[in-house]
Amino acid sequence: MGKKERIRPISICLLRRGEEILVHESYDSVKQVGFARPLGGGIDFGETSAEAAIREIKEELGADIAEVALLGIVENIFVYEGEPGHEIVFVYDGQLVDQSLYGPAGLDGVEGKRQFKAVWRSLADLRSGPHPLVPKQIWELL
């Protein structure tokens, strides 16, 4: 028997610097397209979606966030690297506590054992650039 498909609840946080959002850019090698996603991740059992957003940013950037406010919830059904995915996405707005983190063009991040660079991207770039914002339903909340 294969892996049972499940709907995954996740929490992401829109960290903004003026008209820019902090995102992780990635690439789907099967579709051969790039995409950008706000930082965040899975909600643990017994954890609220707000607590998950705060924890995920702390784990990924080593940074604290404040003024966390729910913007909305979107459903994301997608295919990534040839595998189907289905998420219920809690979309939060928040601010980095350490104001110095707004200065650099990007921030070093970690997801498990994998390191990545989180970068500030303008809304225009996220709309029409090589790494469009996903899930696309986030646009309705901006």
- CA separation for the pair 40, 60 (Å, rounded): 8
- pLDDT tens across 86-100, in order? 999 999 999 999 999
Q: Superfamily for 8-141?
A: Nucleoside Triphosphate Pyrophosphohydrolase (3.90.79.10)
Confidence at 3, pLDDT banded by 50, 70, 90: low
What pTM does this model have? Answer: 0.92
| Biggest alpha carbon–alpha carbon distance for the chain | 50
- pLDDT tens across 33-84, in order? 999 999 999 999 999 999 999 999 999 999 999 999 999 999 999 999 999 9
Cβ neighbour number for residue 50 with a 10 Å cutoff: 17
Does 1 have pLDDT greater than 50?
no
Instruction: Write the DSSP string, 59-91.
Output: HHHS--EEEEEEEEEEEEEEEETTEEEEEEEEE
